Structure formats: C-alpha cells, structure tokens
Structure 1
C-alpha cells in the first residue's frame, strides 16, 4: 500500500540513497559512466536531503521508503522526483507528482515546471503522460556533478486538459 507523507530529518541518508540509486539507473540507460560521477552525485543527494528535508515528500510502499519528490522553494518548480529502482513501475512517481502538483496549485500557481536530462526518456514519457509538454531544450552546468548537462524544461498548465499523444509523436520532444 502506498502512503505519501512529509520527510523526517532522520531519513536524509536513506533518501539520498534512493535518489542516487534511481539516478544511476537513469544515466546508465543513455550510456553515461555512473562511476565517474558517483561520488559527486552521492554528496549532492546527501547535501540536498540533509538541508531540504522539510521540502521533501516521501513515498512509502508497505512501510518501506520507496521514493521522494521536492519543490524546494515552495514555488511552481519541481526540483526532484526519484523512485528507487526496486519500486519503479508501481505508480509511485505518478502519485508523488500528483501530490506535489496539488501543493503547487494550493500556493496559487497556474502551472508546474520542472526540468530533466534530455536523454532521460523514461522521465520525459512519464511527465508527458501526466500532461507536461517540453517547452525548451538547453545545456546547463551542474555544479554538484561538475559537468554540462543536456536538459529539457517541461511545463504543465493546470487549466489545460491532458492531450492524447499525437500519431507519430515519439513521446519525447513533440507536443
């Protein structure tokens, strides 16, 4: 059974481990060497989770930590959404995303924004199924990883219905 709740400070290390595990799987899909970036990523997740735990929502599956998401500045920008690989495919990411979006709506924003790696096809497809569209493609320097990252910015307008996928749309960068 899935439960979503606020994070506790004592969970920071476990949450960082979830983020790192999900990140390593995602980047290996597009051929990146996780080993080269692992230590920087581990430190970045730990630093984020220890300093921003009040901004994190946790997903538990039958009492086990399974994933987490964050909108760290309490605005309309979703900074993180991670589900441990052992728990992926159960709707946990979708449920976390819906709860974060509900909080964004409660704060009065008309849309939610996020960005993800341009090669993270699984995430892009998930977000598109939930009504997001790609707004832009850009390259940004990631200080924690000490590398330039290809990214896409995505947006979901809350007043717009979720459009069905167009014929010929590969599910990534199209409308």
Structure 2
C-alpha cells in the first residue's frame, strides 16, 4: 500500500518525471497546450528536485514511486503535491498532504497554505474536501513557464473551531466564495 518517506538525491530525475506527468494531465483538462510549455516545465521540475530533494517527501505504492510533496522552506507553505496519473484516486495525495501538514504543525504553525492553478478543479476539490478554503485569487508570473498564471491561495487552519463546520455544504461555487 502507501508508504511515505524522505526523498534521496538519487531520485531527483524520477521525481521530476512524476511532477511533469501529473502537471501535464492537470493542464490538459483545462485545455492548455502542454507541448508548448513542456520543455520549460521539465527543466523547472528537474531543477527543483535536484536542489530541494531534502525537503521532498516521497509516496510509494507497493514499493513503486507514485508521488511526492514538498514544503521547501520548512514553513507553513506547501509548494508541491504531485501524484503520477496512474496512481491518482488511491489516497496517495491525501496521505502526502497529511504528512506534510504534520510537519507544519510540529514547526508550530497554526495553518497550512498552498496555491494551485485557478482552473485546477480536481486539486481545488481535493483540498476543499480536506479542509482547505480559498483565501485569495491572484495572477502570478511563472519564470520557469515564462507566462502569467491564474492562481488561488488556499488555507487550512489547524486550531479547533476555525475550520468551516462542513466545507461541502452550500452552493458557493468552485472557490467557496
């Protein structure tokens, strides 16, 4: 089943491939041209995984690399969460997120933050199901992709009583606003 562990430097190239595959699947859903952005994205994933491997947690499914996540600055901001498309829907992203959130709590933070593409409906729904809410919509320049990206920042408060009672109720649209 699922095992979560720290990454090793020898896995950087494999982790970059996982990030790229998950990213390509996500952007194709909203009609983006992955071919146009692929080389820049490939370089960005490889650079990140090579530089930041000590900050990456790896998920394995029955011993096979299946996904990874990162909180690269050891603060409250989750920078990455990627699961190979063929392993999605098995709870791997949820398990990674839970482990990353545990680290954030242990560092004394009362909330976890992350952002995702504003059209990444699958990720937004997952995060909302796991207690996150949309805090901000913004546009950010992505240097690796060399273009502006529409994003949403999401937050999950850990303190009792600060999370929505039931984030799935009400008709607030995709962003819950």
TM-score of the two chains, using structure 1 as the length reference: 0.97
Q: Does 1:168 align with 2:175?
A: no
- CA displacement at 1:25 relative to structure 2: 0.3
Q: What do residues 57-115 of structure 1 show as CA deviations (whole Å, max 9, x unaligned)?
A: 00000000000000000000000000000100000000000000000000000000000
The 8 Å contact of residues 82 and 93 in structure 1, kept in 2 or not, is answered as yes
The 8 Å contact of residues 130 and 162 in structure 1, kept in 2 or not, is answered as no
The 8 Å contact of residues 57 and 96 in structure 2, kept in 1 or not, is answered as yes
Residue 107 of structure 1 is matched in structure 2 by 107
Residue 148 of structure 2 is matched in structure 1 by 148
Q: Does 1:72 align with 2:83?
A: no
- CA displacement at 1:163 relative to structure 2: 3.0
The 8 Å contact of residues 59 and 67 in structure 1, kept in 2 or not, is answered as yes
Q: Which runs of 5+ in 2 are unaligned?
A: none
RMSD, aligned CA: 0.9
TM-score of the two chains, using structure 2 as the length reference: 0.96
- CA displacement at 1:162 relative to structure 2: 5.2
The 8 Å contact of residues 156 and 163 in structure 2, kept in 1 or not, is answered as no
Cα distance between partner residues in 1 of 2:91 and 2:49: 23
The 8 Å contact of residues 5 and 57 in structure 1, kept in 2 or not, is answered as yes
Cα distance between partner residues in 2 of 1:167 and 1:161: 15
- CA displacement at 1:158 relative to structure 2: 0.3
Residues 63 and 162 of structure 1: is their aligned pair in 2 closer, same or farther, counting only changes over 3 Å?
Answer: farther
Number of matched pairs: 174
Cα distance between partner residues in 2 of 1:63 and 1:169: 40
